[in-house]
Amino acid sequence: MKTVLTIAGSDSGGGAGVQADLKTFAALGVHGVSVITSLTAQNTRAVEGVFDITPRFIKAQLDALHNDFDIKAAKTGMLSNKDIITTVARNIGDYPLVVDPVMVAESGGRLLAEDAISTLKEMLITKSKLVTPNIPEAEVLSGTKISSIDDMKKACEIISQLGTSVVVKGGHMNATDILYHEGRFYEFKDKKFDFSTHGSGCTFASAITAELAKGKDLINAVKSAKEFITSAMKLSYTPGKGLRVVNPVGRLLRNSEKCTVILELQKAVDMLLEIKGFHMLVPEVGTNIAYAVSNPEGIEDIAAVEGRIVKSGVKVKAVGQVTMGASKHVAKIVLTANKYDGRIRSAINLRYSREILEASRNIGFTVSDFSRREEPEGKSTMEWGTAKAIEKCGAVPDVIYDLGAVGKEPMIRLLGENPAVVIKKVEKILKAMEGG
């Protein structure tokens, strides 16, 4: 495992600084070591205080690391004054250096003294392989105003005269990052989020550093880091009362949760196939049961049975294995219902019959419906229909049905928090139909 160094401030709120850097390193499979330059009294709303570590102790931290570890790459973050910058510049090792020129926290706190900017440029950026300013920082470093892609490129060229490659981050404007490397421009585009996040700059620079340590060239390191930070922002969360916090380990946790969802759904399918009389509830087109990860964003976050569950006489069998993204029909029901109630993560489609609906009502299940005849042009039936039934009911019901249309089989759907809940509802319906 490669060793990667962060030289930065500590964020007591855990969303940025050294804390974000180390989480990023761990998520990308490198060993993180750290030199803390400042302690901040900080949360997601404000920087309430800063205590700078003495240059002598910063040097002691660097010496301790250099005496033991084979550091493959490093990044700097918050270096609040001239003395700290000078100490770091004079004691940095001979490895690729990424400089994140942190000047102001996303919450508004000042993190770099005005009189230290020239020191940062002359002593540290000149030693770096890459500098990663956001637009306000790039304006300070280049002395130019930035309001377009062309302005970002101009700033890159000016800053690169310090002897480094430059990536200007466009999150404050258009979510397009511009890399200027060896006389060429590279654009990395993505969708702009409608929220601000704490720790995105730290995480992005750390991801680049980790990828460089693992052997990627600069262009591919930036490309990978862009994908990583986009995922970390997409999976951001709000642990405090202020800004959202980026989630460097979110992708790992999501992948782990997908494995758990698949295993749980497979157990549920095995149970479903053993339920006596279940074949009576299976539609002619077959059935499927779906289970989503928490906060699903698309069909790829929802597990189901490949090829559905089909019946042959009184026997029922699963055609394929449980996998993510295996269903569109039932998955869209879950996806839509989850937007109304985040607890609802599972659903199954059943054969339509008045007997099943009557049994559901007798049990006390909430029942709602929609009409395919009212479906607007160009809308997805399952998304529109599910939403219509939920709004009609005032909450996510236990049962949603429709009477079909030309070429469309009428259908009943059961919804629940997880597959175990859905299966219990199936068993209750069968018992009620038997008169139990």
- Determine the Cα–Cα distance for residues 270 and 262; give it in Å rounded to an integer: 12
pTM of full prediction above 0.85: no
Length of the chain in residues, anyone?
Answer: 436
pLDDT at 113: 75
Question: Hey, CA dihedral for 147, 150, 151, 152, is it positive or negative?
Answer: positive
* pLDDT at residue 261, as a whole number: 97
Scanning the structure block, which residue is given the tokens 């053993």?
Answer: 274
- Element counts in the chain: helices (H) and strands (E): 13, 20
Cα–Cα distance, 402 to 132 (Å, whole number): 54
| 37: its two tokens | 């330059």
Hey, what long-range contacts does 354-362 have (CB within 8 A, 24 or more apart)?
Answer: 355/433, 356/281, 356/412, 356/429, 356/433, 357/399, 357/401, 357/412, 359/429, 359/432, 359/433, 360/398, 360/399, 360/412, 360/429, 360/432, 362/432
What's the pLDDT score for residue 260?
A: 97
pLDDT in tens, the chain (436 residues): 999 999 999 999 999 999 999 999 999 999 999 999 999 999 999 989 999 999 999 999 999 999 999 999 999 999 999 999 999 999 999 999 999 998 876 655 566 777 889 999 999 999 999 999 999 999 999 999 999 999 999 999 999 999 999 999 998 788 899 999 999 999 998 878 888 899 999 999 999 999 999 999 999 999 999 999 999 999 999 999 999 999 999 999 999 999 999 999 999 999 999 999 999 999 988 999 999 999 998 999 999 999 999 998 888 999 999 999 999 999 999 999 999 999 999 999 999 999 999 999 999 999 999 998 888 887 888 999 999 999 999 999 999 999 988 778 899 999 999 999 999 999 999 999 987 5
Integer Cα distance of 263 and 268 in angstroms: 9
What pLDDT score does 253 carry? Answer: 92
Domains of the chain: 3-248 (3.40.1190.20), 253-433 (3.40.225.10)
Neighbouring CB atoms inside 10 A of 202's CB total: 31
Helix (H, G, I), strand (E, B) or coil at 322: strand
| Nearest Cα to Cα of residue 78 among 99, 63, 92 | 99
Return the exposure string of 129-141: e unless at least 16 CB atoms fall within 10 Å of the residue's CB, then b: bbbbbbbebbbbb
| Distance from C-alpha of 230 to C-alpha of 248, rounded to nearest angstrom | 10
- Please provide residue 327's backbone torsions phi and psi, each rounded to the nearest 5 degrees: -130, 140
SS3 content of the chain, % helix, strand, coil (to 5): 40, 25, 35
Task: Tell me what pLDDT residue 173 has.
Answer: 80
Give yes or no for a contact between 269 and 318, defined as CB atoms under 8 angstroms apart.
yes
